[in-house]
Amino acid sequence: MANMNFIDKLGGASKRNDSLLCIGLDPSMEKIPTFLHAAKDPIFEFNKRIIDATKDLVVAYKPNLAFYEAEGPEGLKSLMRTIEYIPASIPIIADAKRGDIGNTARAYARAVFDVFGFDAVTVNPYMGVDSIKPFLNYEDKGVFVLCRTSNPSASEFQNIGAKPLYQIVAEHAVTWNVHENCGLVVGATWPEEIKKIRTIIGEDMLMLIPGIGAQGGDLEKVVKFGTNSHGENAIIASSRGIIYAGKDRNFDEKVRDVALSLRDKINSLRH
């Protein structure tokens, strides 16, 4: 299972858990329940409870590397424990947004795929195809290229040009999808752009859509415009809205309640 390709693993988890919901595992020490601070590895302990509470509800987990790097080398050990703990049948996406010259991108790809064992990664297109190819060359892994991001200043550069940059990125990504392992990151906060991008990339390419929950994306439009005509090929990600749903010892019950309700709401909109 560990060596199963990303797309098959994703399809399996989606079917088994009847889900498009991806949970962002983005723990920060100042936000996790304080009773966990006494644990040997509080970050891992926090993730473990969330995984136990939601592993039958999700299509994928998505740890953002920033929150582990912020704890130094020990934080990366917490990340490795987390990856090991997640059932091998659920794909894990490294939210890393990496991008560098080819020689360096190869080192990043080795880090996320070979060393940490992720099934997929997010990458930044600013430096062009050179910086993305070393990831795409791992044919069994998924690569999500930032297209139109969820944050308020997304349009500052992504909308530059007569044809906006984000649309050009989407067009190029279609040509990069030779091994059928390339997808796009599109923020839930921009439903019209989601619609436009789905038109550009067609039915088959995956969209990873963060920005519901804390960032306030419109779920109905996200599901309507983001999925293909079969209600598939979108991964809808929420992090803070789920993982910080509770503060006390039974926080994981609240986490499950919110995740379950969100998964079901997404399903009611796509079926």
- Residues forming the site for a second copy (CB under 8 A): 26, 28, 64, 66-67, 69-74, 76-77, 80, 95, 97-105, 107-108, 110-111, 115-116, 124-131, 146, 149-158, 160-162, 165, 168-169, 172, 214-215, 240
Tell the smallest beta-carbon distance from residue 118 to a second copy (Å).
12
Query: What would the 3-class secondary structure string for the chain be?
Result: CCCCCHHHHHHHHHHHCCCCEEEEECCCCCCCCHHHHHCCCHHHHHHHHHHHHHCCCCCEEEEEHHHHHCCHHHHHHHHHHHHHHCCCCCCEEEEEEECCCHHHHHHHHHHHHHHCCCCEEEECCCCCHHHCHHHHCCCCCEEEEEEECCCHHHHHHHCCCCCCHHHHHHHHHHHHCCCCCEEEEECCCCHHHHHHHHHHHCCCCCEEEECCHHHCCCHHHHHHHHCCCCCCCEEEEECHHHHCCCCCCCHHHHHHHHHHHHHHHHHHHHC
Q: Is 254 noted as a catalytic residue in this protein?
A: no
Tell the smallest beta-carbon distance from residue 78 to a second copy (Å).
9
- Please, which residue, 43 or 57, has the CB nearer to a second copy? 43
Tell the smallest beta-carbon distance from residue 12 to a second copy (Å).
28
Tell the smallest beta-carbon distance from residue 163 to a second copy (Å).
8
Q: How close are the terminal C-alpha atoms of the chain, in Å?
A: 29
- Please, which residue, 87 or 161, has the CB nearer to a second copy? 161
Q: Output phi, psi for 5, to 5 deg.
A: -75, 155
- Please, which residue, 51 or 105, has the CB nearer to a second copy? 105
- Please, which residue, 98 or 141, has the CB nearer to a second copy? 98
Tell the smallest beta-carbon distance from residue 97 to a second copy (Å).
6
Distance between CA atoms of residues 57 and 212, nearest Å: 17
Distance between CA atoms of residues 73 and 80, nearest Å: 11
- Please, which residue, 67 or 227, has the CB nearer to a second copy? 67
Q: Which of 31, 77, 97, 195 is catalytic?
A: 97
Q: Which residues are catalytic?
A: 97
